Copies of this chain bind each other. A is one copy, B any other.
Amino acid sequence: MENIAPKPIPLKHVAIEGGFWAERQRVNRERTIPAIYRKLEETGRIKAWSGIRTHEMPRERSVVHMFWDSDTGKWLESVAYSLATHPDPELKSIADELIDAIEGAQQGDGYLNTYFPLLDPAGKWANLRDWHELYNAGHLIEGAVAYFQATGERKMLEVLRRFADCIDATFGAEEGKLRGYPGHPEIELALVKLYRETGEERYLELARYFVDERGRAPHYFDLEAAKRGESREDFWAQTYRYCQAHAPLREQTEANGHAVRACYLYAGIADIALETGDEELLTLSRRLWDDLTQRQMYLHGGVGPSHSNEGFTFAYDMPTETAYAETCAAIALAFWAQRMFHLDPDSRYIDIMERAIYNGSLSGLSLDGVGFFYANPLAAYPGVNPMGRWSGILDSGHFRRVDWFFCPCCPPNISRLIASIGEYSYSQQGSRIYVQLYHENSVTLAIGGQSLRLEQVTEYPWDGAIAFQVNAEQPLSFELALRIPDWCGEFAVSLNGVRQAVSVEKGYALVSREWTDGDRLELLLAMPVERVLPHREIRQVAGQVALQRGPLIYCLEEADNGPRLANVCIPSTAKLEAVFDGELFGGVAVIDGEALRIEPSPENSALYRFHSREQVAESAFRFRAIPYYLWANREPGEMRVWLRSC
């Protein structure tokens, strides 16, 4: 084993032409990417770039205008990933036109923003705490790097390098620079991407500076507030925990505040730790990871239960109906998870990456690709809206996916994740190939100057049988490291039909040999329906059970099971059966089983009844659970992940 860190196998080398993700990517290309572009246009976000030069302002000025550029950046990034594997000249020409406009909007000093130059010139860099210039920069940088990697064209990359240089000239510990850092982290991980692509160490150093300066005294957010004539107490969020700046980062022990900010920041820290070998940052990353994933993560990989701060509250606090669990936060957790693996190779990170992708992230998009969730609750009831109960009161309707948000961070985020799923599928460390995600695809590997193609054939996540077919011109030695997921209790490996004894190291079954063309490795992951019980401190679902099969969390919907799901109980002895339904949602495995409905008869309309005078009635019925990520794709109704256990 070479003593270097594993890296993802790039997107371009992973061809996805069938199976679970091919269909999701097709919908993303054909529906989601165009739909988001239309919204960017309609809302003035596209026109704002040329408007900077022509002084034509967008139709309406809104309080989220300061964050507009991040939406463009993420959309461009999604387009880049899509173009990388599915070239589309028409889409590319739209992107190129946008890139020209972005280039045209750049100021002489490299500054790039559609809000401040015309709408508030004096506001430039005046409020890093709230005004998102560096957050926008990060997303534009990510888009630029992705676009260069997809197309080989440098224009966008050069524009963003100039902006990064402008930022580097403005912020830092050196004399004459502002000691600022972003209120909404994101640029840290983007700068590491820019460093990796360009080899320019200043970008890595700038990212490291942002991490090191964060939360230090004298507090930059205090200083800049004073310059604006405000005091610390005027901060709407009341606490710098909101933006993970309440203490120097290396002293922090818990995941805090706004969940998306937190996970982007932590992902950036992991990147910096990997690139710099900073042991303290590795320790910090593990500490924050353990806190978040062992005390503050929903079963579906969503994080941040609270609407009020879009973020964390306290350990084991897991409200279900009102779970915020922002789509972006689950996605950011997946980003962080992958980086943690590369920093500290262990399947436990990828297990959570898979959980967050297949459940709390994917639920953010409708099956038809044009409906989005911002919040991803674990139970739904008419009139309850996890985006704030108020909304529910107004319309008393069902919480449904919508086609856009006032602050539309989630739509392009889920779009870019789907477009780039190939990049999460494998990691390589010298001659060891980690298989991270199981799904139908074909990966081209380069090992010691030679290449081979490995085909992965599987119905995963509907089935646990996975076959790897080797296509190689000549024999090639390498090690396959097959992730054995945390939910899997039993597995078997066969090579060319012969059962193999394999060792498992840090969650990976290792198969090392000289592979030849036509070799077929089969992995069978037992995938029974699992009953999941919550930690004893999770009060909201005490005494309840959830169903999981393979990487998928399941839920009951009213469409299959009728209303009043709170009265449904799953007996601990109930036989639970996974059944593939080829018709439903284009083909999914559902879970069927016996349940009890325990409730008083409808004749008794008393709000409260005395036990001694009346017992409840039990009736058995056959329930059907569907994968959680597919909820709210049929007629509106109740939904529940956690069910009473009896």
Contacts and interface: CB of A to CB of B under 8 A. Distances in A.
Interface of A: 238-239, 241, 293-295, 297, 299, 306-309, 312-314, 317, 381-384, 388-390, 392-394, 396, 487, 489, 528, 530-540, 542-543, 545-546, 564-567, 569, 572, 598-600, 602, 604-614, 616, 644
A542 to B, nearest CB: 4
A241 B394 CA distance: 9
A572 B618 CA distance: 15
A610 B526 CA distance: 14
Contact of A535 (B309, B542, B608): B608
Contact of A533 (B307, B393, B539, B600): B600
Contacts of A598: 543
Given A389-B313, A612-B531, A381 B607 contact: no
Given A294-B606, A306-B389, 5 more contacts: A238-B390, A306-B390, A309-B393, A533-B600, A536-B602
A339 to B, nearest CB: 21
Contacts of A600: 533, 535-536
Contacts of A396: 314
B599 A567 contact: no
A532 B600 CA distance: 13
Contacts of A540: 566
Contacts of A613: 489
A289 B455 CA distance: 68
Contact of A607 (B294, B539, B543, B545): B294
20 contacts: A239-B393, A299-B608, A308-B390, A487-B610, A489-B612, A489-B613, A530-B611, A531-B610, A532-B609, A532-B610, A533-B608, A534-B608, A535-B606, A535-B607, A535-B608, A536-B564, A536-B567, A536-B602, A542-B644, A572-B611
Contact of A308 (B383, B393, B545): B393
Contact of A238 (B307, B394, B531): B394
A478 B610 CA distance: 34
Given A309-B390, A389-B306, A607-B297, A564 B535 contact: no
Contacts of A294: 605-607
Contacts of A542: 564, 566-567, 599, 644
A528 B613 CA distance: 13
A564 B537 contact: yes
A314 B539 CA distance: 24
